[in-house]
Structure 1
Amino acid sequence: DIPVGYLYTIANPRTDWCYQTEPDAGLNNRSIGYARGKVLGGCSSINAMIYMRGQQSDYDYWAAQGNRGWGWHDVLPVFKRSEDYQHGADEFHGAGGELRVEERRVNWEILDAWREAAEESGIPKITEFNRGDNFGNAYFQMNQRRGKRWSATSAYLKPAMSRPNLHVVTNAQVEKLKLESQNGCQCATGVTVCLNGKETVQFNARCEVLLSAGAIGSPQILQLSGIGPGELLQARGIEVKHELAGVGENLHDHLQVRSVYKVKHTVTLNQRANSLFGKAMMGLEYLLFKTGPLTMPPSQLGAFAKSDPDQASANIEWHVQPLSLDKFGDPLHGFNAITPSVCNLRPSSRGHVQIKSANWHDYPAIKLNYLSTDEDRQVAINGLRFTRRIMAAKALARFEPEEWKPGPELETDEQLLQAAGDLGTTIFHPVGTCKMGNDALAVVDDRLRVHGVEGLRVIDASIMPRITSGNTNAPTVMIAEQGASFILQDNQ
């Protein structure tokens, strides 16, 4: 429950599936770790805790693709219904819902100054990011309650555990769906599950099967069950029960490019975490007040802007951290530093998730194809240049920022693109592999029912036709709320 505990859950096989991506040309042929929550609550139990709905244009795009009931004005009431906002209900926020949303509980001088620098650079200060238009800079709101992580388990599962119609089975991995042919159509009737790594059992559905294994797990399970691209399934020795070309396709994610700047005349987490006294004081502050660095998400401060004037709305975002490290899981550097990471909110690069065999034990191939389009490459270059502009603003001058990564000697577009490939990494926001819609690659309809299969819905981030602008946990909760409503309405 201690927020900073995410440091010990990612890359931990007890709590993380520990996927590894395929080598990626856009990342200069690197493969990267790809964390997914292997715990009750899924990724909401190991994520950054940032509450970010996205922008109005994200959902209006979904609706424009023919998905009825998914425009901004359709989903805003759903966001509000599930929300318990620290400051109470207003036009854009709800109170009394399951999902607690609070403000930060620690301050950093360097982040306050970065806000001023962003404003100097044309990114105005705003109060928050959850009102439909995110252009500006603000501190993130978080899924915490009184200094503790507030996951989907905390919000939804634990309060319902005493219900007689709820049974939670852990150490249970789905091998495949049970499908039966009924009146010439495939119908999902249950799941085949491996319990405790030993016993295979079957659970039968009285009404529907709901697949919520995420953007990696859901397409994997569908493919193992014979639902997916026919050529792929046949190549893996799986009988094609229902051909759906889009299962596992349309994979996309936010790629962050992490710049690091050394700073002086201030204290960052690097300094506090690298001394016994600093660690002791952080622990004491949390113990007594539930405030301080132990309540920190990986990033506290954000900013949204356009990478070029032709963009219709903000298309890049910074996650700004008062710390630095070589890669996630490594120790913090021995010098004070700040890390302003910039990401492309609307990447055009697309990858896939494909099973490697018919064996459910085998992890699928995860191919992101980062930076595989000219557009994405230019956004990465522009984002690095914009970061430099902010770091050169007067508001930060007293801290004497010194670019450590990628390095001031890298000036040309070619050099910056190479740096983006070297420094770029995931923010763990995969979506789209069971996309909603009615085109050739659509897997579910706008009520989340799998096309051509009765009694089966997919309800998770995999159904997003296009990724939202920011962290994907809040939109995924909204998708789950929508799915719950559809199930009730369709089974009255």
Structure 2
Amino acid sequence: MSSFDYIIIGAGSAGCVLANRLSENPANKVLLLEAGAKDTNFMIHMPAGVGQLIGTDTANWYYYTEGQPHLNNRKLFWPRGKVLGGSSSINGMIYIRGHARDYDLWRQLGLEGWGFADVLPYFRRAEGNENGDSAFHGGEGPLGVTNARKTNVLFDAFVEAGKQAGHPYTDDFNGPQQEGVGPYQLTIKNGKRCSAAVGYLVPALSRPNLKVEVKALTARILFEGKKAVGVEYVQDGEKKTVRANKEVILSGGAVNSPQTLLLSGIGSGEYLRKFGIDVVADLPGVGQNLQDHLDCTSIYECKLPITLHSQMNLFRQLLTGMQYTFFKTGVATSNGLESGAFLKTRPELEVPDIQIHFVAAMMRDHARTKSDRHGFTVHVCQLRPESRGYIGLKSLDPADHALIQPNYLEAETDRRVMRDGVRLVRDIVAQRAMDPYRGPEFWPGADKQTDEQIDSWIRETAETIYHPVGTAKMGNDPMAVVDNKCRVRGIEGLRVVDASVMPTLVGGNTNAPTIMIAEKISDDILGRAALAPEHVTIAEDRQGHAA
């Protein structure tokens, strides 16, 4: 049996970070296992390829949820990355950290070392922002972050309309003021997607102490008593085992990590025994506490032929492809989603409770329904849902997809916020800045005005916007799966490091926070002191309190 010091399960956003940081020391022998393939698909690296990646099974687990009781029992499509880079190789490339208060809440929940001042230096260490170093940003990190390129006049028009509707403007959603309308920053560098694989893994691949195995599906973690000692995986139809001398680190994400824990005997003892699985550690929180951002899309026809619908023309696609291939310029360097907003549905709120993504195209059903006309889409999601779901097992076969039950819109508060978000979008799009472009409201349609009509439309059409977290949460309570250093409770030599450890969903996209978590935990694994806290003032700290 071959052996390594560290075995990392999953080459997604967290796994790539850990592979890089742990292998920096040539004395550490590191194995990275990835169930998917290499990230050689051209569409992964071209920003405009995001629609194909999310809407097809290319580099995608192509999950579906169970029927959703509050969404007309629909089974929702859940794309997750199955490739080097994980979901960072197929996501929308939006660089958002969430609100500073999200991390201060983690600290208040008893997670020492996870307040915003504690995590900010790790965000900055990860970030290679084209604007350079500042109090809020890093300029030299592996993760390339660039400003939106303003590839369509609609992006600026939406921002101007938001200002006309009375919302503040912010030029940096990751800076001192999140609330407002403005441009997004993107994980794009030199016209190409900067996934975690590109930013972190590629620079480390030449190290002789790092081995990467692709198409290697983890079957279970191996234990000697209460100590994790190795991993069993399947590759090319062959079952293989490998030993970990120091630690096994599970970085499979909010779906695959709890599934792997359960198959390995870590979870609710009662639940495991129903499947005939020997109980290694009775941790009832495994798979519970699932949270995700539900999303609904308001769609309008566009008066002018300026949207991405122009790219449906084969000749135009050829020209765009050539421009991108040879010059790394043009619309293919954009994700088609360059502006948005963080807004409050009620003025008394301290922080925004909805996020808006503006797309310069009609986009329905994760881009799987092709547009037949020019239009634009305004996504709105509730940032901090109260509804909770769970991940479970369907069988003992690790190749079978897990049971996914997000339980969207169970809470009445969630339904109200989504409804209010639709009305906020309508108010923005109705402003004069959108007059030259705004055509008829295609979806939900101008005839849907009452609470009941809007709620009915949301039940019929709402989908995920791809931010599941929380299924192996950090904490000190009985439902916590890992401690504040991401060590699995009651088990030696095993950590979970990915979005599943977030105790609560952050107010924004989850790729950057996941990378931050891996950066922070890598220091602890290596026995390094944590980076010193960095105190900054955010807009909501009205009394000058440092976050």
Which TM class, normalised by the smaller chain length? over 0.9
1:334 aligns with 2:372: yes
Correspondent of 1:119 among 163, 185, 191:
163
Going from structure 1 to structure 2, the CA distance change for 1:279 and 1:362 (only over 3 Å counts) comes to: closer
Question: For 2:246, what is the secondary structure of its paired residue?
Answer: coil
Q: Distance in 2 between matches of 1:40 and 1:398?
A: 43
Q: Pairwise mapping of residues 304-383 of structure 1 onto structure 2 (< 5 A)?
A: 304-330=342-368, 332-383=370-421
Structure 2 equivalent of residue 168 of structure 1: 212
Q: Which moved more, 1:289-298 or 1:412-421?
A: 289-298
Q: Pairwise mapping of residues 476-487 of structure 1 onto structure 2 (< 5 A)?
A: 476-487=514-525
For the 8 Å contact 1:434–1:458, the answer to whether it is kept is yes
Structure 2 equivalent of residue 24 of structure 1: 68
Going from structure 1 to structure 2, the CA distance change for 1:106 and 1:112 (only over 3 Å counts) comes to: closer
Correspondent of 2:526 among 479, 485, 488:
488
Q: Pairwise mapping of residues 161-240 of structure 1 onto structure 2 (< 5 A)?
A: 161-181=205-225, 186-196=226-236, 198-240=237-279
How far does the alpha carbon of each residue in 1:136-168 deviate from its partner, in whole angstroms, 9 at most, with x for none? 111111111110011111111111112121111
Structure 1: 5+ residue runs without aligned partners?
Answer: none
Deviation at 1:331, TM superposition (A): 5.2
Deviation at 1:2, TM superposition (A): 1.1
For the 8 Å contact 1:123–1:304, the answer to whether it is kept is no
Question: For 1:486, what is the secondary structure of its paired residue?
Answer: helix
Q: Distance in 1 between matches of 2:436 and 2:49?
A: 33
Deviation at 1:411, TM superposition (A): 1.3
Q: Distance in 1 between matches of 2:62 and 2:336?
A: 19
Q: Which amino acid aligns with 1:188?
A: A
Correspondent of 2:487 among 444, 449, 455:
449
Q: Distance in 2 between matches of 1:296 and 1:426?
A: 22
Please identify runs of 4+ aligned residues in structure 1 that moved more than 4 A: none
Deviation at 1:488, TM superposition (A): 0.8
Q: Distance in 1 between matches of 2:291 and 2:373?
A: 35
How far does the alpha carbon of each residue in 1:81-127 deviate from its partner, in whole angstroms, 9 at most, with x for none? 11111011111111221111111234212221111111111222211
For the 8 Å contact 1:28–1:418, the answer to whether it is kept is no
Q: Pairwise mapping of residues 57-206 of structure 1 onto structure 2 (< 5 A)?
A: 57-181=101-225, 186-196=226-236, 198-206=237-245
TM-score (ref. length: structure 2): 0.86
How far does the alpha carbon of each residue in 1:447-477 deviate from its partner, in whole angstroms, 9 at most, with x for none? 1101111111000000001111111110000
Question: For 1:26, what is the secondary structure of its paired residue?
Answer: coil
Identical positions, percent: 43
Going from structure 1 to structure 2, the CA distance change for 1:201 and 1:310 (only over 3 Å counts) comes to: same
Structure 1 equivalent of residue 282 of structure 2: 243
Deviation at 1:490, TM superposition (A): 7.3
1:255 aligns with 2:299: no
Q: Distance in 2 between matches of 1:356 and 1:333?
A: 36
Question: For 1:88, what is the secondary structure of its paired residue?
Answer: coil
Q: Distance in 2 between matches of 1:46 and 1:486?
A: 29
How far does the alpha carbon of each residue in 1:58-96 deviate from its partner, in whole angstroms, 9 at most, with x for none? 111111101111111111111111111101111111122
Q: Distance in 2 between matches of 1:357 and 1:327?
A: 28
Q: Distance in 2 between matches of 1:481 and 1:245?
A: 28
Going from structure 1 to structure 2, the CA distance change for 1:484 and 1:400 (only over 3 Å counts) comes to: closer
How far does the alpha carbon of each residue in 1:427-448 deviate from its partner, in whole angstroms, 9 at most, with x for none? 1111000001111211110011
Correspondent of 1:474 among 512, 517, 538:
512
Going from structure 1 to structure 2, the CA distance change for 1:389 and 1:13 (only over 3 Å counts) comes to: closer
Deviation at 1:408, TM superposition (A): 1.1
Structure 2 equivalent of residue 412 of structure 1: 450
Q: Distance in 2 between matches of 1:6 and 1:408?
A: 30
Deviation at 1:35, TM superposition (A): 1.1
Q: Which amino acid aligns with 1:257?
A: C
Question: For 1:453, what is the secondary structure of its paired residue?
Answer: coil
Q: Distance in 2 between matches of 1:260 and 1:12?
A: 22
Going from structure 1 to structure 2, the CA distance change for 1:132 and 1:178 (only over 3 Å counts) comes to: farther
Q: Distance in 1 between matches of 2:335 and 2:505?
A: 22
Q: Distance in 2 between matches of 1:403 and 1:414?
A: 18
Q: Distance in 2 between matches of 1:388 and 1:437?
A: 40
Q: Distance in 2 between matches of 1:286 and 1:106?
A: 16
Q: Distance in 2 between matches of 1:285 and 1:158?
A: 25
Kindly tell me the number of residue pairs found equivalent between the two proteins. Answer: 485
Correspondent of 2:323 among 285, 308, 329:
285
Q: Distance in 1 between matches of 2:163 and 2:345?
A: 15
Q: Distance in 2 between matches of 1:84 and 1:359?
A: 40
Q: Distance in 2 between matches of 1:421 and 1:382?
A: 15
Structure 2 equivalent of residue 394 of structure 1: 432
Q: Distance in 1 between matches of 2:380 and 2:55?
A: 23
For the 8 Å contact 2:336–2:360, the answer to whether it is kept is no
Q: Which amino acid aligns with 1:194?
A: V
Q: Distance in 1 between matches of 2:213 and 2:437?
A: 53
Q: Distance in 2 between matches of 1:11 and 1:354?
A: 24
For the 8 Å contact 1:84–1:99, the answer to whether it is kept is yes
Q: Distance in 1 between matches of 2:70 and 2:191?
A: 38
For the 8 Å contact 1:110–1:266, the answer to whether it is kept is no
Deviation at 1:255, TM superposition (A): 0.8
Q: Please give the root-mean-square deviation of Cα atoms over the aligned residues, in Å.
A: 1.6
For the 8 Å contact 1:106–1:291, the answer to whether it is kept is no
Q: Distance in 1 between matches of 2:273 and 2:84?
A: 34
Structure 2 equivalent of residue 403 of structure 1: 441
